[in-house]
Structure 1
Amino acid sequence: MIVRKGMGRAKSLLALLMVLLFSFATYNLIAMIMEHKADGLELSNRKLMRSNSKFHVAVTATDAAYNQWQCRIMYYWYKKVKDMPGSEMGKFTRILHSGRADQLMDEIPTFVVDPLPDGLDKGYIVLNRPWAFVQWLEKADIQEEYILMAEPDHIFVNPLPNLAYESQPAAYPFFYIKPAQNEKIIRKFYPEEKGPVTNIDPIGNSPVIIKKSLMEEIAPTWVNVSLIMKDDPDTDKAFGWVLEMYAYAVASALHGVKHNLRKDFMLQPPWDLNVEDRFIIHYTYGCDYNLKGVLTYGKIGEWRFDKRSYLMGPPPKNLPLPPPGVPESVVRLVKMVNEATANIPEWESINRS
Structure 2
Amino acid sequence: MYYWYKKFKDAPGSEMGGFTRILHSGKADNFMDEIPTVVVDPLPDGEDRGYIVLNRPWAFVQWLRKADIPEDYILMAEPDHIFIRPLPNLATEEMPAAFKFFYIVPTENEKVLRKFFPNEKGPIANIDPIGNSPVIIKKSQLEKIAPTWSDVSIKMKDDPETDKAFGWVLEMYGYATASALHGIRHMLVKDFMLQPPWDTDLGNKYIIHYTYGCDYNMQGKLTYGKIGEWRFDKRSFTTGAPPKNLTLPPPGVPETVVTLVKMVNEATASIPGWKGGE
Q: Same fold (TM over 0.5)?
A: yes
8 A contact 1:167–1:214 mirrored in 2: no
Question: Residue 280 of structure 1 corresponds to which residue in structure 2?
Answer: 207
Question: Residue 122 of structure 2 corresponds to which residue in structure 1?
Answer: 195
Q: How does 1:270-349 map to 2 (within 5 A)?
A: 270-348=197-275
The two structures have a TM-score, normalised by structure 2, of 0.99
**1:219 is the counterpart of 2:146:** yes
> Percent identity between the aligned chains?
77
Return 5+ residue gaps in structure 1 as ranges: 1-73
8 A contact 1:154–1:280 mirrored in 2: yes
**Please, what is the CA RMSD of the aligned residues?**
0.8
Q: How many angstroms apart in 1 are the aligned matches of 2:47 and 2:207?
A: 32
Cα deviation, 1:104-136, whole Å, max 9, x if unaligned, reads: 111000000000001111111111110000000
Secondary structure in structure 2 of the residue aligned to 1:148: strand
**1:88 is the counterpart of 2:15:** yes
4+ runs deviating over 2 angstroms: none
How far off is 1:167 after superposition?
A: 2.1
Aligned length: 278
**1:164 is the counterpart of 2:97:** no
Higher helix share: 1
Aligned partner letter, 2:133: S
The two structures have a TM-score, normalised by structure 1, of 0.78
Cα deviation, 1:254-305, whole Å, max 9, x if unaligned, reads: 0000100001000000000011210000000000000000000010000000
8 A contact 1:149–1:206 mirrored in 2: yes
How far off is 1:159 after superposition?
A: 0.4
Q: How does 1:95-244 map to 2 (within 5 A)?
A: 95-244=22-171
Which of the pair has more CA radius of gyration?
A: 1
Aligned partner letter, 1:139: K
Secondary structure in structure 2 of the residue aligned to 1:281: strand
Question: Residue 14 of structure 1 corresponds to which residue in structure 2?
Answer: none
Secondary structure in structure 1 of the residue aligned to 2:137: strand
How far off is 1:345 after superposition?
A: 1.1
Q: How many angstroms apart in 2 are the aligned matches of 1:281 and 1:240?
A: 24
Aligned partner letter, 1:260: M
8 A contact 1:273–1:327 mirrored in 2: yes
